[in-house]
Amino acid sequence: MTDGVDIKNYNYLDNERFPYSVQDSSQSKSNSSEWLVSKIVLPSGSELSIEYESDSYSYVQNKSAMEMLQIIGLSNNSTTQDETKPLDLNNKLYSTLNYSDYFIYLKLNVKIDFKDKSEWISEFKKSFEKIYYNAVVNINGQGTQEMIEGFMDPNLNEVYLVKENSSDVYYTYACIKIIPNAVENLPNTYVHPIAKDAWQYMRLHNMQAIFEGNTQAIFNESEIIEQGRIPLENLASNFLSEAGSWCENYFQMFVGGFGNYMYLRGYASSIDLNQSYIRIPVIRKQGKFGGGARVKKIQLNDNWPIAEQNQIFSTEYFYILEDGSSSGVASYDPLIGRQENPFFQPTLFTTSRILGENDHLFITEPFGESLYPGASIGYSRVITRQKGAKTGMMVSEFYTAKDFPIIAERTQLSFKKVKVFTLKQMI
């Protein structure tokens, strides 16, 4: 696979919101040389110049490196026949049309050449487990936003590369189909998993945002009736109208189902595209820029007073494998921005409720992360060339964390049933 053209892919968010290394090659190179010695003047008058470049890596131990990419739009359609973006790209997680197909469109950090399309898609499919996302969701029409994160399942049979224009020879975007989640008590009704996770977050942590109401509801009462989606809650709404809206809302959720209640009122139906990202594998020969520096070239100029006798000696270093891809291997990714770490994976569990909707939760691996190594990059193969020398090149090979990864195992939990009953468990 060849290296394409860099794409500037950032909205200049603060470090708290986007704590990941910049993947623009020119900016990464400039950043890497800051505060490092670039020239040494020797007592003899000679000058030693050092040129740096950003370090890079393709693996974190024995796992493919990963990166966070911006979501540029959502759609219910895959790419068009000419491999360009569909016209209906938007920020909606679901709508009144009740689609069962959900596609996420991403902006790639590096453009992919058309001849590398099949290889890119094949490598993408091989590297995948679940997709991690980190999105800012508009949870109601009152201007309230929440940062929601979680994991969702891709449909790997529908992964596409997408062009900006039909005449382009490079692919600028990727399109991934996401497996949707069903809505309880509403047959054949599906929403984006980000919306389902946002509903659960609101139920567990921000009920106030629900009771404030949603001024951007996607259904009105007549549409609900026409589509045959009248939930059981309506049977009791008049009965409880005198008891106050708070009590009525709780009863409607209880009888009709929480997902039903949230869907019909359009809660968490859109995201902020400028602050929403998902994680995919790094699939390019140059690898992932790590934010640190490595020596690219060392040059010695003897500054001899007689120009004809002046000598310049230089040594260049190339950190590549035989196929031209980066030989870099990270021992671990930084803890700040650890969402890009391929070891950052979910362990799923469910908390059952007697009368309410179950909580589908996760904790993230690796467990015992403090025992893992710090973030650093080593190289399995380095080529050294000396300008003007007739000795060819020198190839040095090294063991890295890829050859000796950390292997973590754990025993299964043994379960013991304990009867505990609280009012909170019911709702």
**pLDDT tens-digit profile of 92-109?**
998 766 677 899 999 998
In this structure, the dihedral spanned by the alpha carbons of residues 7, 13, 15 and 17, taken in order and rounded to 10 degrees, is -110
Give the dihedral sign, CA 337/342/344/350. positive
How does pLDDT run across 246-275, given as a tens digit for each residue? 555 555 565 567 888 888 888 898 999 999
Chain centroid offset of residue 192 CA: 16
Asked if the bond preceding 231 is cis, omega within 30° of 0, the reply is no
Instruction: With a cut of 60, say whether residue 172 has pLDDT above it.
Output: yes
221 pLDDT above the threshold of 60: no
Q: What is the pTM of this model?
A: 0.83
Contact 23, 3 (CB under 8 A): no
What's residue 8's pLDDT?
A: 47
- Asked whether 183 and 189 are in contact (CB, 8 A), the reply is yes
Share of the chain above pLDDT 90, in %: 41
CA distance 66 to 345: 12
Share the mean pLDDT of the chain.
83
Greater confidence (86 vs 98) lies with: 86
**Mean pLDDT confidence for 182-191:** 83
pLDDT score recorded for residue 399: 97
Quick one: average pLDDT of 43-47? 88
Q: Cα 237 vs. chain centroid, distance in angstroms? A: 42
Give the DSSP letter string of 94-126. Answer: --TT--S-EEEEEEEEEEEEGGGHHHHHHHHHH
pLDDT at 235 (0 to 100): 46
- On the question of pLDDT at 20 being above 70, the answer is yes
pLDDT for 234: 53
Average pLDDT over residues 400-422: 83
Phi-psi region of 287 (alpha: psi -120 to 50; beta: other; left: phi over 0): left
Residue with tokens 């409607």: 252
Residue 12 has pLDDT above 70, yes or no: no
> Do 265 and 36 touch, CB atoms closer than 8 A?
no
At residue 209 the predicted structure's pLDDT band, cuts being 50, 70 and 90, is confident
Alpha carbon distance 141, 404 (integer Å): 52
Task: Give residues with Cβ within 8 angstroms of 426, minimum separation 6.
Answer: 353, 354, 355, 356
